[in-house]
Amino acid sequence: MYKIAVAGTGYVGLVAGVCFAEVGHHVICVDVDEVKVNLMKQGISPIFERDLEDLMQKNYSAGRIDYTTDYQAAYRDADVIFLGVGTPEQADGSANLSYIATAARQVAETIEKDCLIIVKSTVPIGTNDKVEQFIKDFLIHEVRVEVASNPEFLAQGSAVHDTLHAARIIIGTESKWAENILMKVYEPFHLPIVSMSRRSAEMTKYAANDFLALKISYMNEIANLCELVGANVQDVAKGMSYDERIGSTFLNAGIGYGGSCFPKDTKALEYLGRQHGYELKTVKAAIDVNKEQKLLLYKKACKRLITFSGLKVAVLGLTFKPETDDLREAPSIVNVPLLLEQGASIYAYDPVGAENFKKRYPEGTKENGSIKYVDNIKEALSNANVCFIFTEWKQIKEVRPDSYKQLMRTPLIYDGRNIYNINDMKDAGVEYYSVGR
């Protein structure tokens, strides 16, 4: 087993570190935030992710994982160092690599023995070449150092499972030495490993995520056309799913994709194409469709209502998907400000995302409207004039159609996740609008 150091304790770094410890490696996770580190030592995860805290507590007690702000102590005698720091999107769609550069320099100025540096962060093609040269430029000791690419393919909400039971592990290396080390790191996982060059591994990450984003945007386009021609997109998706060339996943129409990967990765690849004088027309189309799709429900409601001013608006679901507290690129982020500008009195419910949303929109009266966060769906719906469903949380799916009729002043529902059967809502006396049906 290896001594592994992990730079960064977000979705990528923390999940990877905990899972490496779970299979027997000795892991130390590095973060600059001392408060965060102390919480993790207590087994408290800084992110909401199923099963993560249980494994944090189990492996910390077993002495297989620790957390520190002392990067020098962590990197000094590590066999391998994983970089899992953020690469946030910049205004032009490119990736901000400043955190990667900072971590790389810290590694270079600290390591005292031969070491493989593995970049798990999603980075533009060719970045790992630059990272390797950057580290060599700042090396203090005469040691062998190489950089490998090992992109992650986890989904938020199931990240631990996705790591421990991945469909495949992608590794990108430029030497047999590096390849052999990564093979041994992942040997305890007993998963298929696909080995390739660094640049191919970097591209595989973007190509896979952007393909799934394309699939989602395509189905949303089909859904919009279904509404115009009187077809049902759920029936269409079911018919498509039996074709093994298409498959059954990512065929659910809705109000667009969000999160930390698809929006950022599509924009980054489209930006990379432009930098090389090539227009990725399909990827650009996916980006454009997704941007418009997020406003679909709001535009439908504007056609139905004169104004939102003075209306109680229930918002069910704030996160971009269930089982996560991540708000990045969530439909709620673009819709709530519009509703507030129109003077809506918003009552928002989300089982785990409300605290993060409060950081962006604190509770209280805004310039025109107001927002209040509630702990239960009944309070959100009680005497409401209109309801928007942005996330298909289990708690929301369990609300019966007749509850909307009973609780709301006007049972007017805009469902961005197609949770309900149209006929069930009609029979319950609910005015119901969904996507593609």
Q: In whole angstroms, what is the distance from residue 161 CA to residue 62 CA?
A: 20
Number of Cβ within 10 Å of residue 207's Cβ equals 12
Distance from C-alpha of 363 to C-alpha of 348, rounded to nearest angstrom: 10
* Amino acid code (one letter) for 115: C
Q: What is the DSSP string of 242-254?
A: TSTTT-STT---S
Who's near 354: CB < 8 A, 6+ residues apart? 318, 348, 373
Q: How far is CA 238 from CA 51, 228, 310, 432, in A?
A: 32, 19, 41, 22
Angle made by CA atoms 332, 337, 341, in degrees to the nearest 5: 145
- Please give the positions annotated as active site: 261
SS3 17: helix
Question: Which residue bears the tokens 């790591």?
Answer: 163
User: 246: which residues sit within 8 A by CB, 6+ positions away?
Assistant: 240
